[in-house]
Structure 1
Amino acid sequence: MPSLSHLDCFVKSAERGSFSAAARLLELTPAAVSKNIARLEAELGVRLFQRSTRQLSLTEGGERLLAQVGGPLAALADAVGHAAEQDRQPAGTLRVSMGQAFGRAYLVPLLDAFLRRYPAVVPDWRFENRQVDLIGEGFDAGIGGGLELKPGMVARTLGRIHIVAVAAPGYLAGRPVPRHPSDLTALDGIVRRSSQNGRIYQYTLRRADGEVAAAVLRTRVVFDDPEAMCQAAMLGLGVALLPMPFAVPWLQSGALARVLPGWSAEAGPISLYYPAKKLLPARTRVFVDFVLEQFRERGFERLVETI
């Protein structure tokens, strides 16, 4: 019977598309992973991968084996890990992906309390503004907005995000107070370009009574990072349309002020994502519970929706 470690090397390499990625996850060398897979191929008498200098792809036999053993092997690993954790504290490396500015502002401040509660867990957090494949890249969880909810994933909403117009009080001083989104055309705009597709974001603002209107600014600066937009707005360069989580600290401090209070654009939820496994690793389970608890106690949903 093939070794479970050899099968694990095969599954991880197939899921991640390279021996190097599998090696990082398994804490082995790429040479060791390659050797284990070669031994597995020799035992089975089947070539599992087509190897080239550019890519690693499954053969027909490799695809059949992955379909047969991928799920059961993952379930076995979960069961073993769950049994081992029953009588001890959650432990191990906790790999989480999150947006750069959001993670720094809202997750890092929770870290001390989390580590005091779970000292055997080692956070390995990636701060990156990109769409990640949580399962394919081996993350335990992810936090962000707009992630594709693939089969086998769960999303828990932390709050619904609104886009609001803000500016430095000094920039607004001496200028006519905007009463309607159409008034924004007379003001300098710090506008945002999507880092995903390069397009300039266009927003339609809505008021509580249901009236909607396009928000069109006179472009002065173009950035692809909301944190940089906050900084530019505080320098008095113009009006920025920002997700509320980025604007909240500066609105609270008075460094920024709302423009057109009562108007906002819906930007969807920001959520905590994790695999939909019956037997989640204890480190993932306690992290999910801790984040939901802390965001609820700190009133995050209310804060980003109504300030």
Structure 2
Amino acid sequence: MDNRLGEMEIFTRVAATGSFSAAARQLGQTPSAVSRAITRLEERLRVRLLVRSTRSLTPTPEGEAYLAEARLLLDRLADMESRIGRGTQTPQGPLRVSATVGFGALVVLPLVPAFLKTYPQVQLDLTLSDAVVDLWQERTDLALRSGRLKASSLTARRITTMRRVVVAAPDYLARRGVPRHPADLGGHDALLYNFQPPEWAFRDPATGEALRQPVRGPFAGSDGTILRQVCLAGLGLLRTGDTVVAADIAEGRLVEVLTDYAPPEPEALHAVYAGHPHLATRIRAFVEFLAAHVPTCGR
């Protein structure tokens, strides 16, 4: 009799560690037993799942597809055993989350201690990046994304809303003047996200017409926390989410400008994950925790 679930668990451990030896240590088996299990799995499926090199093991595209399905099945099995064995679902296991740097650092990170205290059996792995990650390729359970979402098979749950604001340090405005219209930005230095086009979106308050204003400046950065520091140093104007600079505006370190031209609709921030009828309880718990504890901005 074959042991498909056992081979599935072995494969997920090998994919996570990139090593037969490391997976064997976690599973209490020998490296040769782990290697034989992977060989049996590949022979049964008639496809190569791992690319073997002298230094690491990397899933092939077929291996990535198998890994995604295997994780769902193993999560479902764990949840089923939890319900039957203890009469309840206890969030547990590794939870891999990706968030934008500004929102992650200023909003998500302060909530981490309370979340882990509430769910002590969850091991949270948080990556902060303003790049849009591929959940499958990056082996990520959940991503926090702002703005309009592209159509996909993923499930999206709105967590909060925020406004896009244009801010500058008081000393920059004293030197360069306060822009009154988006067209004035042609004479100003803009601080830019290096993965976005060099233009900012506005809306004419009189006509409601959408405006696109090209901008340029002396500095570009990969995330909101870097650009916030440069903006505080007085190097230019920054357009970013209000969650990144709310405290700076409230305490006078930054000044919001062009408020009349800000788009009236707040921008939604979503938790995005692979939807499933038996969604892992650790993912559901994290989404519900954020929805309950993240304040609604952009009002």
Task: State the one-letter code of the partner of 1:49.
Answer: R
Does residue 144 of structure 1 match 2:141? no
What's the CA shift for 1:166? 0.9
8 Å Cα contact 1:82-1:282 kept in structure 2: no
**Deviation string, structure 1 residues 219-256 (Cα, Å, up to 9, x no partner):** 23233332222111111112122232222221122110
Task: State the one-letter code of the partner of 2:256.
Answer: R
8 Å Cα contact 1:181-1:260 kept in structure 2: yes
Task: State the one-letter code of the partner of 1:101.
Answer: G
Distance 2:59 2:189 in 1: 50
Corresponding residue of 1:292: 291
1:80-159 residue pairs with structure 2 within 5 A? 80-84=81-85, 86-87=87-88, 89-145=90-146, 150-151=152-153, 153-159=154-160
What's the CA shift for 1:290? 1.0
Corresponding residue of 2:261: 263
Q: Structure 1 residues 165 and 129 mapped into 2: Cα distance closer, same or farther (>3 Å)? A: closer
**Deviation string, structure 1 residues 96-127 (Cα, Å, up to 9, x no partner):** 22223321110111122223322333322222
| TM-score, normalised with respect to structure 2 | 0.76
Corresponding residue of 1:206: 203
SS at match of 1:173: helix
**Deviation string, structure 1 residues 271-294 (Cα, Å, up to 9, x no partner):** 112332222333222221111011
Corresponding residue of 2:276: 277
Q: Structure 1 residues 79 and 25 mapped into 2: Cα distance closer, same or farther (>3 Å)? A: farther
Corresponding residue of 1:249: 247
Corresponding residue of 2:2: 2
What's the CA shift for 1:89? 4.3
Corresponding residue of 1:36: 37
Distance 1:103 1:271 in 2: 13
What's the CA shift for 1:25? 8.9
Q: Structure 1 residues 234 and 48 mapped into 2: Cα distance closer, same or farther (>3 Å)? A: same
**Deviation string, structure 1 residues 78-101 (Cα, Å, up to 9, x no partner):** 533554563474333332222233
SS at match of 2:134: coil
SS at match of 1:165: strand
8 Å Cα contact 2:192-2:221 kept in structure 1: yes
SS at match of 1:79: helix
Distance 2:20 2:82 in 1: 19
- How many residues align? The count is 286
What's the CA shift for 1:133? 2.9
Q: Structure 1 residues 33 and 132 mapped into 2: Cα distance closer, same or farther (>3 Å)? A: farther
Q: Structure 1 residues 190 and 80 mapped into 2: Cα distance closer, same or farther (>3 Å)? A: same
Please list every run of 5 or more consecutive structure 1 residues that lacks an aligned counterpart in the other structure.
none
Q: Structure 1 residues 179 and 24 mapped into 2: Cα distance closer, same or farther (>3 Å)? A: farther
What's the CA shift for 1:181? 0.8
8 Å Cα contact 2:96-2:140 kept in structure 1: yes
| TM-score, normalised with respect to structure 1 | 0.75
Q: Structure 1 residues 148 and 165 mapped into 2: Cα distance closer, same or farther (>3 Å)? A: same
Q: Structure 1 residues 117 and 183 mapped into 2: Cα distance closer, same or farther (>3 Å)? A: same
Distance 1:269 1:122 in 2: 27
8 Å Cα contact 1:8-1:73 kept in structure 2: no
8 Å Cα contact 1:186-1:217 kept in structure 2: no
Q: Structure 1 residues 118 and 132 mapped into 2: Cα distance closer, same or farther (>3 Å)? A: same
8 Å Cα contact 2:20-2:35 kept in structure 1: no
Deviates more, 1:277-286 or 1:162-171: 277-286
Backbone CA RMSD of aligned residues: 3.9
Please list every run of 5 or more consecutive structure 2 residues that lacks an aligned counterpart in the other structure.
none
What's the CA shift for 1:57? 4.1
Identity %: 29
SS at match of 1:49: coil
